[in-house]
Amino acid sequence: MRLKKNEMNIWKNVVARPMVWIACGVVIGGVAMAGILNLKVGIPSAFAGQDVKTSPIANIKTESMAALRDLNDSFANLTEFVSPSIVSIRGERSASNAGGRFMPQAMGEGSGVIYSADGWILTNDHVVADFDKVTVVLNDGREFPGKVTRANDPQNDIALVKIEAKDLPIARLGDSDRVRPGEYAIAVGAPFGLENTVTVGHISALGRASAVQDRGYSNMIQTDAPINPGNSGGPLMNIEGEVIGINTSILNGGASPFGGSAGNVGIGFAIPSNQAKLIADMLRSKGKIVRGYMGLVPENLKKFEKADKKIDSGAIVRSVEANGPAASAGLQAGDIITEVGTWPIRNEQDVRNSMLRIAPGTPAKVKYVRSGQTREATVKVAEFPRALASMRPTPPNDSLKDFDPNDLDLDKLREQFEKQKEDGDVPPVRQGAARLGVSVATPNADSRKTYNLPESAKGAVITAVEPDSVADRLGLKVGDLIQRLGNKEINTPEDLVAAMGSIKWGDTVNLKFTRFTSGGQSTIDRPVNFR
């Protein structure tokens, strides 16, 4: 068949010439590859099919490749070692209407660790709460019905599940007090029902408070090891294969464009293993925990507070319940608790845990520091209020049974933060003399009657609060009585003016004030950022 002239031009331009170039490319590529393989130029010998230990490597050192292989093997071997001690937990509930409370049918999935060889499983309370039937699935595929022992404690999301089994491989609990940010962290569990899933990351931070304030979600370990709904109750481990935390909650990225949750965004939280062990031991030995009550809110000391007060450890009292056990014993907001009973206090969690060890109705000696002096008080520990005890831990965005991907929208939070910046809620450091943004006066007969100020109360009473000021953002109100700023006691308005004279924009100092109402009083001692 003969080609016409125009067809011949098309053949040359579209077919023949490109084929020639392709053929040339193949030849050149073949020659180059042969040279590379024969001369070992620029490509690590590991990829050329040669022994990495006997060949020089241009871009990756032999020692580096060996270290990477060792690390790779370590993670794989570690997973094989710990996986048998990790379980999946399924919960089922039939629809019911008990006591006027309708409970719809529900199913959930979580994880757990084998706590003892005779069948005790450690997990989160919210993984097993409110289910009629709980099933534990071992790593080898065996399934057992489980009997749940709950803490029913608003400050601890821990529960135990007992199965009838023997000689189980137990998880080894590590010392969470020795954990440091930056260390490797390994999570194993059943995210979205995918059992025996392993993820690796790092310890991001320590001492985090979760979204549920004043309900025990303090002193949490933060990690970027990916954990998702279904990981709850499973272990967070170190490279020694020790459980250093029990995964309990995450922050998620909102809804996925493909439907459902966008899942993990690198911010997850775990209950420290020492805290989990304390609760688990009590549940196993007593079948329950009983919490005492002092009527105060402790918090960890911030670095600047430790420096200002020249103290290394302890928990600062942020507020005291009026007429509560602590207030009756003379404790005040701003006091630093260093010992309760015979237990030293390093942080706020130690204060909370002391109420697990001291039975209600028992007097407890409390050592504390006030104005640099160590003092002692005897607090009669009360029964934990029923209203607080009935609150069940419900960490957000965490288990399949109640997982709501719209609970937290990070994009929305960013927009809100940007708006706050524009509105002045997060202003830059200002210039000139720092201002609190209040007008104050000496309490008189009229103000004492108007604001319920007792005759014995001393300080500077707030008569006006400037909008968008430091005081406004702190939540100060007209009628509040300012009693201390930094280390200076405030008995008169002049005292407050003098104390402000040493403060500059950008400083952070503590402010103590009391708010009186017809029903009592609340004293608060909090850090103030002058921005």
Give me the active site residues, please.
126, 157, 232
* 3-state SS string for 399-464: CCCCCCCCCCCHHHHHHHHHHHHHHCCCCCCCCCECCCCEEEECCCHHHHHHCCCCCCCCCEEEEE
What 3-state DSSP class applies to 520? strand
Query: Would residue 194 be called left, alpha or beta, if left means φ above 0 and alpha means ψ between -120 and 50 degrees?
Result: beta
Nearest to 230 by CA among 205, 260, 245, 250: 250
Q: Let me know: does 102 contact 397? Beta carbons within 8 Å.
A: no
Cα(489)–Cα(499) distance, rounded to whole angstroms? 9
Q: Let me know: does 236 contact 270? Beta carbons within 8 Å.
A: yes
Residue carrying the six token digits 């060792």: 70
* Residues whose CB falls within 8 Å of the CB of residue 212, separated by 6 or more in sequence, listed in order: 393, 394, 395, 396
Supply angle C-alpha 228, 288, 222, rounded to 5.
Answer: 30
What 3-state DSSP class applies to 190? coil
